[in-house]
Amino acid sequence: QVQLVESGGGLVQSGGSLRVSCVASGRTSSRYFVGWFRRAPGKEREFVAAINWDGGNTYYADSVKGRFTISRDHAKNTVYLQMNGLKPEDTAVYYCAAQNSGNVYSGRAYNYWGQGTQVTVSS
C-alpha cells in the first residue's frame, strides 16, 4: 500500500503562482510514477503532469506545458507541482496518484490516490 497526501492548494489571482505537494508513504518504490490529475466542476478528470520517481522523466498535458513544473525530492518522499501563470480554467481539485506500470497519462493506470487539494484561480 502507498499513501499519498496532498497539500498547498488555495486561492490565487489569475497570473499568479502556487505550489502543491504530494507526500508519499508506505511501500513506495523507485519504479513508481507519480502523476497529478485534476477535476474541475462538471468536467472529467484530466491528466496534468507525471514524473518517473527514479529517473526524473517528466510528462505534461499540452494545456500546462511551459507553465507547470513537476519535480520530486527523494529525501522528503515528496512530489511537487509548481504552477505559474495560473488561469481561471486551472481551477479544480488537484489529485496526486501513483502507479508502477501502464500509461502515465491515464488515470486508470494509477493504483493509489490522494484525497485532493482545491486550487481556485480568480479572474
**One pLDDT digit (tens) per residue for the chain, 123 residues:** 899 999 999 999 999 999 999 999 987 776 789 999 999 999 999 999 999 988 779 999 999 999 999 999 989 999 999 999 999 999 999 999 999 888 999 999 999 999 999 999 999
In the block, residue with C-alpha cell 481556485: 120
Bridge-based pairing state of the strands 117-122 and 10-13? parallel
**Rg of the chain (C-alpha set):** 13
What is the structure's pLDDT at 21? 98
Say how far apart CA 7 and CA 27 lie, in whole Å. 20
Cell digits of residue 61: 498535458
**How many C-beta atoms surround the C-beta of residue 45 within 10 A?**
14
Say how far apart CA 92 and CA 54 lie, in whole Å. 28
